[in-house]
Amino acid sequence: HPPQLTKQQNKQRYLEQYVAEIKEKRAAKDNADTSDLTIEQVEKEMKNSMRYEYYIHYLGIDRRNDRWVTEQFLKVDHEEIQRQEKTINKEEEEKKERHREQRDKSFLYNDENLGMNEKEVQDFLNSTKIKTVESIQFGKNWLETWYFTALPKEYHTKCLYICDFCLFFCVDKREFLRHSMKCEVRHPPGDEIYRDDAISFFEVNGSSEKTYCENLS
């Protein structure tokens, strides 16, 4: 889980305001237990307590900070938005100009979008604009993801649980806990080739340990 913040840190955190653009909207998941209700009762319950989450992008900030937030974290300030947009647009134009100058000066110009035209770059950005996995529970360690993850739709989740021994992963916490109790693996499936105090390196054969190596990648 994320580290606990002091009251002062929390207060300071919520006082900070950033201009953001809303990318997507979805119904917030309700953690209430509805297992004993009929379909009609569940629908009525959802309608009466409908809340929404918004996927936001902070303007002028790397999109690794994009995230889902609830309505309570949003405040519409049209004047501030206009001021920020002017500043950001100016900075973007200056950045593009420097980019063009650098490209024109070098015959070996290269970047992450090498070989892609503007439409292909834009299509790529649109298809990867939203994080498919919002956070990861790796054993006892919790971490927030930065970017889009190319996983099948059934693994698009708020938290992906990963066994830190065998690298098994799932989206259901109960399944992860059951696996953790049964998993007998305590080191990578290979030969230990180096050790320094508490750090060990293992050599794993990808042809015989395909699942482990696929999960590792």
Over residues 118-165, the pLDDT tens digits come to 777 778 778 888 889 999 999 889 999 988 888 888 999 999 999 999
In this prediction, residue 193 has a pLDDT band, given cuts at 50, 70 and 90, of very high
CATH dotted code for 133-216: 3.30.60.60
The residue assigned the tokens 């974290």 is: 73
- Angle in degrees, CA 213, 214, 217, rounded to 5: 85
What gap in Å lies between CA 89 and CA 103, rounded to an integer? 21
Question: What integer is the mean pLDDT of 34-56?
Answer: 64
Whole-number pLDDT of residue 1: 41
Greater confidence (77 vs 68) lies with 68
What's residue 20's pLDDT? Answer: 83
Average pLDDT rounded to a whole number, residues 102-110:
49
Alpha carbons 56 and 25: distance in angstroms, whole number: 9
- For residue 75, give both structure tokens: 């405040």
Which of 81-85, 100-104, 147-151, 179-183 has the weakest average pLDDT?
A: 100-104
Q: What's the confidence (pLDDT) of residue 87?
A: 77
Is pLDDT at 48 greater than 80 in this prediction? no
- Chain-wide mean pLDDT for the chain? 78
- Backbone φ and ψ for 45, nearest 5 degrees, come out as -65, -40
Residue 104 has pLDDT above 80, yes or no: no
Structure tokens at 151: 């996983």
pTM of the entire structure? 0.57
Instruction: Give, in order, the Cα–Cα distances in Å from 169 to each of 99, 147, 176, 177, 211.
Output: 40, 18, 8, 11, 11
Q: Where are the domains of the chain?
A: 7-75, 133-216
Nearest residue to 200 via CA among 211, 212, 188, 184: 188
| Confidence check: pLDDT of 213 > 80 | yes
Contacts 24+ apart (CB under 8 A), 96-99: none
Q: Is the pLDDT of residue 77 over 50?
A: yes
Sheet of strand 52-58: strand arrangement: 20-27, 52-58, 67-70
Q: For residue 63, give the DSSP letter.
A: G
pLDDT at res. 39: 61
Predicted confidence at residue 111, as pLDDT, reads: 56
Its CATH architecture, for the domain 7-75, is Roll (2.30)
